[in-house]
Amino acid sequence: MCIVAIAWQLFDELPLVLLSNRDEFLQRPTEELHQWSDKPIYAGRDSQSGGTWLGIHQEQHTDFYEQNGRWAAVLNFRDGVQASLDERSRGALVTDFLTSNISPMDFARQISLQDYAGFNLIIGDTTQAVIVNNRGHAPTPLYAGLHVLSNGQPEDSWFKTDRLRGRLRQEVLPLIAENNSLEYWRDAAFTVLSDNIPAPADKLPDTGIAVEIEQRLSSVYIEPVDLTGPEDGVIPNYGTRTQSILTLRNDIKDAKVTAEIISCEFNDHSNTQ
């Protein structure tokens, strides 16, 4: 289901700070964060569909890597409508953007929205970030600020998005303002992403699924749960599988912007870079 927080243009040296939890069925085959051999992409990979949920453009040469500042993330849209077999993988939206050379806004405007199950897509480069979905939200540039979204409309106020936003403002953004070195604030960011407090019953969103399931999906970090039966005596089949931090760093001295991702798999905070 996933959740993404984006601090866009809040810090001169870090114009982008993106935090993400990827929630997925535990049996779905996944490759960890790596440089792809067949595309100029640095990301984890969904082995089933071949796409990704979060990545940057990065091309490997013989003795160096080349980046162009493009980044993207996709989340599904939870409205009770089941995906059909003839729809394209939402992960292809990320890979298609990262391997294209048109602006984020132009890319968002040319998406064939009906080809995909429900999605929220956030794409950007060093100068522009755009959000679009195929549930009525037209391509819209992100304004400078903190944006937190999950599986509803970008402006929806869910317990988990409000909780993540509040904790980021109190526990992470002040650390970045104090010292923007990733090592300084990384642990605090992963701690916030690991918040497993569920929403109270009166704070659950109405997304067309059963209340019992909604409750199990209501925290920022989803502990392994079973989405097909009662909570007790079952084998977990779903949960948060990957936590990621993506940044763009503005090197004023060298006049270039560098992208970086670190990820933790299955809430193991040993980083793969």
State what percent of residues in the chain have pLDDT above 90: 83
**Widest Cα–Cα separation across the chain:** 58
Mean pLDDT within 170-174: 98
pLDDT reading at 83 higher than 90: no
What pLDDT shows up at residue 273? 38
Least confident of 40-49, 140-149, 205-214: 205-214
What pLDDT shows up at residue 141? 98
What pLDDT shows up at residue 235? 84
State what percent of residues in the chain have pLDDT above 70: 93
According to CATH, the topology of domain 3-265 is Penicillin V Acylase; Chain A (3.60.60)
Question: Which of 13, 20, 10, 7 has the alpha carbon at shortest distance from 179?
Answer: 13
Confidence band (pLDDT; 50, 70, 90) for 251? confident
Give the integer Cα–Cα distance in Å for 180 and 183. Answer: 8
The amino acid at residue 227 is L
**Per residue in 176-226, pLDDT tens?**
999 999 999 999 999 999 999 999 999 999 888 889 899 999 999 999 999
What pLDDT shows up at residue 17? 98
pLDDT reading at 236 higher than 70: yes
What pLDDT shows up at residue 232? 58
All structural domains of the chain with their residue ranges: 3-265
Give the integer Cα–Cα distance in Å for 24 and 28. Answer: 7
Residue with tokens 């929806």: 156
How many CB atoms neighbour CB 164 within 10 A? Answer: 27
What pLDDT shows up at residue 233? 57
pLDDT reading at 267 higher than 70: no
Confidence band (pLDDT; 50, 70, 90) for 80? low
What pLDDT shows up at residue 82? 65
Mean pLDDT within 168-173: 98
Mean pLDDT within 112-118: 95
Give the integer Cα–Cα distance in Å for 58 and 43. Answer: 9
- Residues sharing a CB contact under 8 Å with residue 25, sequence separation 6 or more, in sequence order: 237, 238
What pLDDT shows up at residue 271? 40
Residue with tokens 């704070």: 203
Mean pLDDT for the chain?
Answer: 92
User: Is the separation of the CB atoms in 160 and 150 below 8 Å?
Assistant: yes
